[in-house]
Amino acid sequence: MLSIVPTFAWLEGLAWTTALRESPYGYPLIETSHVAFIVIFAGLVMMMDLRLVGLAFRHVPLAQIQQRLFRWQMGAFVPSMGTGILLFLVDPLRYYQNVFFIAKLLFLVLAGLNALVFHLKTYRKGETWDEDPHVIVTAWRAGAASLFLWSVTIVASRLIPNNWFK
């Protein structure tokens, strides 16, 4: 059976990945940037979610939060993905079997799908309830699901250094 391990071992042996991994600054600075961008991105996404579930910003029209924050969310999401991919490439053998890393990826994909369904389907008819402090039930569910999925993604991220299930 084909194994991905030799590819990861090859990646890990490259001069630039080795240099970044062993540098006293390379890995820590990339990882810190990764966390900083995720905190801004997920923090802003969660503000929109709190509006959807009615826990904050209830008197701010959803469009104001959703549309005006989108570019800032994406502006933080793209570098967080870039630094995240770089962190994986630098040390793939450390991550690929880590339960928390796999959980993080899984919940990240689920959060992305939830956001996609919300933007393409639920929010299409948003103008009818945009200014209402109480949004329609499908939008409320999307907000609650997003809060849960991003929370689990962040908690799983922080637990990656503890591989309790080797």
Partner 1 sequence: MSQAYRDSTYLFPVTQALHLLAVTVFVGAIVIGDLRLLGWGPVGQSRASVVRSAQRVLLWAGLAVLVTGIPQFTTNALTYHRSWLFILKMWVLAAALLFTATVRHRVAVADEGRLASWVPRVVGAVSLVLWMGVTISGRLINYYG
Token couple for 68: 């005006």
CB-neighbour burial class of residue 4 (10 A; exposed 0-12, middle 13-18, buried 19+): exposed
Choices 3-11, 68-76, 105-113, 119-127 (CB under 8 A): range interacting with partner 1? 68-76
Asked if residue 98 lies in contact with residue 160, where contact means CB atoms within 8 angstroms, the answer is yes
Of 35 and 81, which CB lies nearer to partner 1 in the complex structure?
A: 35
Residues numbered 130-159 forming contacts with partner 1, rule: CB under 8 A: 150-151, 154-159
Choices 31-39, 83-91, 108-116, 117-125 (CB under 8 A): range interacting with partner 1? 31-39
Ramachandran sector of residue 57 (left: φ over 0; alpha: ψ -120 to 50; beta: rest) = left
Write down the least CB distance from residue 147 to partner 1, Å.
Answer: 9
x/- binding map, residues 32-51, to partner 1, per CB under 8 A? x--xx-xxx-xxxxxx--x-
- Other beta carbons less than 10 A from residue 70's beta carbon: 14
Asked if residue 130 lies in contact with residue 62, where contact means CB atoms within 8 angstroms, the answer is yes
Token couple for 160: 């990656």
Of 59 and 124, which CB lies nearer to partner 1 in the complex structure?
A: 59
Which residue ranges make up the site for partner 1 (CB under 8 A)? 28, 31-32, 35-36, 38-40, 42-47, 50, 55-61, 63-65, 68-69, 72, 150-151, 154-159, 161-162, 164
